Structure 1
């Protein structure tokens, strides 16, 4: 295949042609069957009205390349084409033209007023707003710009303008509003036209807070601002803008709508033709005109859409006789129903993620009602889907359905920000594959306009700690560069309003959430550099640099002359499994240690950002500060022998992965101690939000691949795979959100769709399958697979900014050469890769193309010897066959006692098994002895 330019995109415009900046950076992907292809030059052509201008760009750059033409004028329409020339002198054909539309208005160009219902009957009253207008000649183009305090959709002449949902999303409304930019030329006609808006409160009118403290934060009534720009063929321009002459009613079919409560829709109140010309709105009232609001800016992130339909898997009848639909997948969205019945009858839909005792379990929703209601118009089949709300659910209890329910009449509609999927992983272990799929579903559900903690209960907030730990995984699975770059702008605005402090949540709607907290506020320094590493996005680091610096300066003020962050509020290693259900912050790792580790991390990252941006004075200053913080941390928390004040997995993982400990010998000692702690815990998870994303990296970097494999493949609680064995289809907030007896965790805070612990997926891609960025944006790729014991193969594919890359490995048996590891990789054009094969010290460098290597598999263990009651506990846990015999025997006598034994035993190297069985009856202990004797006899035959 000759070289070709397969895809051209403008900055962040992954789902549309409109761009939010006058100088959008350009990226293109080249495809070639040739090996070692490198771009020597590219030619970029800007076409306007059939005329084209070209610019030649020498060099290999093809990702987020600076705009090579004059700045775009507001509303300008162009097409961009690219062709490339390789180092071999061959030049491609021109790419397909990529439309580029300047989606922003000129300064001072926004004239629409924010309008709403003048006399609402209730708080957060849904409304219909409309205006009639005349198109008095042929149009060249018509462009809709709109935003809202609430959620809205615009209809022109009875047709919705696009397929997006819950527009304009959620931002820091006091400081930043986003507008849509939609070409609506095809929806208009010469003569009379009408524009209608359905409007609901959304996030703007929601009550935020916990228990009795919940209150409306932004406002009590929704409003919308609409600006329709008509560009006539004769050169005239006319603007139809919302203002006091528009009309509104609260008598539409949506009678109530809320993010947490759900939507109530009365089809007997439908107003046919309300958004079409000729509708009689004389009974409607003049609109309310609100005061000042931030000038809306063009949206830079993708829109939210319906992305998938999920059919009912099973219709259940609960013990109480209720009808519950099981969709087989915990998802985020709403239902679309088709129902037939008498006028005025109402169907009620109650959503939940789990069942408990066979009944719908709504306790984890707390104050979120999560109920939709549809009142029938009567007279035939009626199809309805709510659009002012969303729910997190797998199960829906249906009440009031007229006649027999046909499951084909109910569909779950998946809703999320419409990002392009970019990462895939699979291996030989079915439970690990399901875990990875759970991570994907969790991200889809929680990336809905903002990166939320959970999508179902009375929260759904942009917790900074969650996205800080999950950003690397998110950047693998989907193209989330524009999504997170947009959210970071809100973070910086909130931070500026609070003297440099990053709130716990962004947008910030909780006044008590403005206390500096380690690992949460550090989203300010971590996320921009993740976007640079994964997407090559240097501009987002430049845009966020002041935010990064301000956060670090806050921490340095708090740390004082000791350069240790201590003595204040912290979340710490949140949801450490040892923490009691009612006190999730009571982790085993010292909170001050966690805070000071993040002081180093953020200061170190800021120094890196300053160097990246050429701010040499800042870089030198913060490098020096980081070194002094490092010294203070080591002096306070690490002994010369390598033991830490908090002798926990999270403490060692932070010291190693954050680079606080740099001495190679000390790093190895601490890595060995971490592996010992993992074994002592029975290869079960002993980390919370802070430690979980990094513990596996710490183990594998220290050479403890076997321990990392045991930790990954563990199915006892707590572990990554325990929820999978319990039927989870998304990642849980707590390791034990569902207890082993099937009951829901008694804590007041438990979610069955929380992506934070899904951060393990990043390690699966980078380390297990072995594909990672070695230079920003994958300009150079690191291929270094780790064949884990217990897996026969693992592979990953990733759509890098340069094209698809893949890597993976497989075990094979060659009768003449023994066990082998075959490593495969695909390196995209215009990149190179460094390759470290399993067990090899030499590092290879290869160019683009398809590659395969084969190496000898590591020598298998010689196996285990005889085991008995006097065998040290560490040897028992490291002997899967003996451990299984032990646990099976205990479980056969008393399952509760077996769980207690598992939970309280510390698997130490100098303590015999018999000591740990001191609470077990002689009869059971004899059974264990016999079971272990059977294992031993099988080995000595």
Structure 2
């Protein structure tokens, strides 16, 4: 197997990040032999010393305070049982913790002259949207530059260029946070973009989540955080002679409007090329006719470095068909529901020609674009042409769509769908012998891509796109297997804590918008406990566990419900949202999640060494369990309401003693056999895992292979390329998204059940694996997962009674392997092969 080798070194769950704050966590994955000890070194600044710990895959920096704007080399050394040592190296850079720049913006009272819009020029209703300001500053550099870093953020969105060349590849930056609490900035290495002589720093800003349309509250559709976008930036230069210089936003900048006539996340974006200002982003441009900017403030206390990778363009799709539907209208089918935008090449047209791009997820029966489910999201982009051919691609909006209707031109140039999502590295693969299940898995993956856009949203198409917390917590186990979402959720958990009320109440959505209820519903607000606990078990970083925040939530519920049945302070109480069967009593749902949050808070406190609190919350969880049984469970094990989700919550959350649990499991199986799946958002993720754990994997497979509605394969057979909001895709158009990931939470069971990759109940970061494939009537399956510890892989196939299984266990881990014939094997790291063959025992 070779020596123990560290690889894939990560700082705060990111590879070579720019802009690290505080005391980062330094982690690594494993290859080769099992390690027995490690040491982490940060340059000449700090060393952990040799630590005897075969389980370790991360260590927090615990040295002296790190200097700002400084690159630090760091390394990890592993020792194996032979005494051999191997080292891997990496680096990170600290952020800018001493800002001196000012916030700037165009003078909000200096409104440009606006002519009445006419047909053929501006197609969209104005919606009060204003042109996206251009801001620029030219500066001289007397000699060559050895290093240059741009620290930049906006209240709104920004798109920056230096000397006409784009800065970085982040989209929709700086991303969405509750800007009243925290505002992220990005750090870019721009050394290659600046040079001796005159240079130009040019930035376009747009409303974004700051002042644009966001959410669905008709009483406050926009202006949630501010009235107009603002910019802050510092360009730090080190010259060849060792001297330094800082170019920053201040009152010397100039501003004017350009060709981006508006850019809004929900309404869309408009480019009028007749208003373009060629060369404005280059040195030598004459900006004397431009207006001076206004300095709006010099507050820096909310600025924090980005904690995750940004939204990026991560793939492009060509159309599968382009159909002319009118003399100047074309319908483009990209074959895949996605989140992103359209890039369009437009041949030369008469100046003032209006080219309109409308987006939709599906078509009406008559072939027209279906837009009823967008509600007030126009999802319409527009190009007004000048006199030459042009390429049109919005920068400050995105849409959820499969189809694009392009009108205004007789002939189209090249058309592409540009896919946007937060750059979470994909870590999981799954496929099996059933092509429809493979399509379902791809639908789940695409739903994750389309809804991980700065925050974990509910849907990318309509006027909502909020960080709904129940959707996030039920889908999280699937998300963690598909991709490395550690940094993504570390950032979002700060949004969740920022939205927590002084009383301790978590909300339903994070980041919080004005006009959105702050008091969270059961199963929604509980994500403030469930999400950090799951992230800890997957990635092994105890910093996910903010015990103060978790305890404040449980105590908030307890204060208002001293009888331990959660009836008060339930917010809107969505219950088991969109369950197709009988409604699960709200008190059952609420009290089950009250117990779960209390229990996980106890475990988190124990991990963090807060043993007194751990005892208190364990005792509370036990008392809630007793109250649950007394109030909702009869002597035969029937749970009040007699619903699938009621039994699922009681069984998954260990709310029943063994005898009652057996009877509850039997009744759950009866309900599933009689009705198919009847769980909604809060039960669906538990459906197949609980059936499997209670001895009925056959029923779990029957649900997976079911094709009548409600079912997953009903969606597949009806052309779905992402997971739908509703089981059957029917219902009110205004509440009928075709890209919602909650019901896609079955993806976890594809990995853990069908393929058989799972953790033992008390395992952290896949230290103890349980490999238990559940073949059902499939003939083969294979899956892999790049865990926080290292690569895990399972591949099995069978023919008649012959079953062959291959397993890869990462270094530092061990596995209990269960074969379908009942045999159990205990193995350590490495590759292993097993067979159950008639007449052969191996």
Could you say which TM-score interval applies, normalised by the shorter chain? over 0.9
Aligned residues of 2:217 and 2:515 also touching (Cα < 8 A): no
Aligned residues of 1:319 and 1:359 also touching (Cα < 8 A): no
2-side partners of 1:424 and 1:841: how far apart?
A: 27
Question: Which of 225, 247, 270 is 1:218 aligned to?
Answer: 225
1:199 paired to 2:202: no
1:820 paired to 2:811: no
**What does residue 560 of structure 2 align with?**
558
- Residues 52, 489 of structure 1: alpha-carbon distance in 2 compared, 3 angstrom cutoff: closer
Q: What SS class does the counterpart of residue 797 from structure 2 fall into?
A: strand
- Residues 230, 321 of structure 1: alpha-carbon distance in 2 compared, 3 angstrom cutoff: closer
Question: Which of 564, 571, 576 is 2:574 aligned to?
Answer: 571
Q: What SS class does the counterpart of residue 109 from structure 1 fall into?
A: coil
Question: Which of 384, 387, 405 is 2:392 aligned to?
Answer: 384
**What does residue 599 of structure 1 align with?**
594
| Alpha-carbon distance, 1:240 to partner | 1.6
Q: What SS class does the counterpart of residue 226 from structure 1 fall into?
A: strand
How many residues get paired? 817
Bigger drift between 508-517 and 705-714 goes to: 508-517
**What does residue 113 of structure 1 align with?**
103
**What does residue 662 of structure 2 align with?**
668
Question: Which of 731, 735, 749 is 2:723 aligned to?
Answer: 731
Q: What SS class does the counterpart of residue 513 from structure 2 fall into?
A: coil
**What does residue 533 of structure 2 align with?**
529
Bigger drift between 72-81 and 695-704 goes to: 72-81
| Alpha-carbon distance, 1:4 to partner | 6.5
1-side partners of 2:353 and 2:733: how far apart?
A: 38
Query: How do 1:480-629 and structure 2 match up within 5 A?
Result: 480-496=485-501, 499-541=503-545, 544-565=546-567, 568=570, 569-578=572-581, 588-629=583-624
1:39 paired to 2:35: yes
Query: How do 1:30-69 and structure 2 match up within 5 A?
Result: 30-32=30-32, 37-47=33-43, 55-67=49-61, 69=63
**What does residue 914 of structure 1 align with?**
none
Name the TM-score, length of structure 1 as normaliser: 0.83
**What does residue 291 of structure 2 align with?**
285
Query: How do 1:143-542 and structure 2 match up within 5 A?
Result: 143-210=149-216, 212-216=218-222, 217-250=224-257, 252-291=258-297, 292=299, 294-318=301-325, 322-342=329-349, 343-357=351-365, 358-379=367-388, 381-401=389-409, 403-406=410-413, 409-496=414-501, 499-541=503-545
1-side partners of 2:465 and 2:569: how far apart?
A: 30
Q: What SS class does the counterpart of residue 169 from structure 2 fall into?
A: coil
- Deviation by residue 1:442-478 (Cα, 9 ceiling, x = unmatched): 1111111111000011111111111011111111111
- Deviation by residue 1:851-899 (Cα, 9 ceiling, x = unmatched): 1112369xxxxxxxxxxxxxxxxxxxxxxxxxxxxxxxxxxxxxxxxxx
1-side partners of 2:829 and 2:516: how far apart?
A: 52
- Residues 213, 848 of structure 1: alpha-carbon distance in 2 compared, 3 angstrom cutoff: same
1-side partners of 2:102 and 2:196: how far apart?
A: 23
1:830 paired to 2:812: yes
2-side partners of 1:362 and 1:294: how far apart?
A: 42
Q: What SS class does the counterpart of residue 395 from structure 2 fall into?
A: coil
2-side partners of 1:455 and 1:320: how far apart?
A: 31
2-side partners of 1:241 and 1:776: how far apart?
A: 49
Bigger proportion of residues as strand: 2
- Deviation by residue 1:890-918 (Cα, 9 ceiling, x = unmatched): xxxxxxxxxxxxxxxxxxxxxxxxxxxxx
Question: Which of 693, 696, 707 is 2:688 aligned to?
Answer: 696
2-side partners of 1:777 and 1:310: how far apart?
A: 38
| Alpha-carbon distance, 1:74 to partner | 0.9
1-side partners of 2:54 and 2:773: how far apart?
A: 31
Bigger drift between 363-372 and 819-828 goes to: 819-828
Aligned residues of 2:156 and 2:230 also touching (Cα < 8 A): yes
| Alpha-carbon distance, 1:166 to partner | 0.8
**What does residue 847 of structure 1 align with?**
828
Name the TM-score, length of structure 2 as normaliser: 0.93
Aligned residues of 2:6 and 2:77 also touching (Cα < 8 A): no
Please list every run of 5 or more consecutive structure 2 residues that lacks an aligned counterpart in the other structure: 113-127
| Alpha-carbon distance, 1:15 to partner | 5.2
2-side partners of 1:425 and 1:370: how far apart?
A: 33
| Alpha-carbon distance, 1:566 to partner | 5.4
**What does residue 633 of structure 1 align with?**
628
Aligned residues of 2:756 and 2:774 also touching (Cα < 8 A): no
Query: How do 1:13-32 and structure 2 match up within 5 A?
Result: 14=14, 16-32=16-32
Q: What SS class does the counterpart of residue 560 from structure 1 fall into?
A: coil
1-side partners of 2:470 and 2:111: how far apart?
A: 38
Q: What SS class does the counterpart of residue 387 from structure 2 fall into?
A: coil
- Please tell me the root mean square deviation across aligned C-alpha atoms, in Å: 2.3
**What does residue 7 of structure 1 align with?**
7
- Residues 326, 67 of structure 1: alpha-carbon distance in 2 compared, 3 angstrom cutoff: same
- Deviation by residue 1:267-294 (Cα, 9 ceiling, x = unmatched): 2222122122111111111112224464
1-side partners of 2:833 and 2:187: how far apart?
A: 47
2-side partners of 1:516 and 1:77: how far apart?
A: 42
2-side partners of 1:551 and 1:624: how far apart?
A: 16
- Residues 186, 595 of structure 1: alpha-carbon distance in 2 compared, 3 angstrom cutoff: same
- Residues 552, 353 of structure 1: alpha-carbon distance in 2 compared, 3 angstrom cutoff: same
1-side partners of 2:356 and 2:803: how far apart?
A: 56
1-side partners of 2:716 and 2:520: how far apart?
A: 35
Aligned residues of 1:352 and 1:360 also touching (Cα < 8 A): yes
Q: What SS class does the counterpart of residue 105 from structure 1 fall into?
A: coil
| Alpha-carbon distance, 1:429 to partner | 1.1
2-side partners of 1:787 and 1:463: how far apart?
A: 32
Q: What SS class does the counterpart of residue 519 from structure 2 fall into?
A: coil
2-side partners of 1:257 and 1:479: how far apart?
A: 31
- Deviation by residue 1:141-185 (Cα, 9 ceiling, x = unmatched): 211111111110111111111111110000000110001011111
Aligned residues of 1:125 and 1:201 also touching (Cα < 8 A): no
Aligned residues of 1:566 and 1:595 also touching (Cα < 8 A): no
Greater CA radius of gyration, 1 or 2?
1
Bigger proportion of residues as helix: 1
- Residues 717, 5 of structure 1: alpha-carbon distance in 2 compared, 3 angstrom cutoff: same
Please list every run of 5 or more consecutive structure 1 residues that lacks an aligned counterpart in the other structure: 579-586, 740-744, 814-818, 858-941
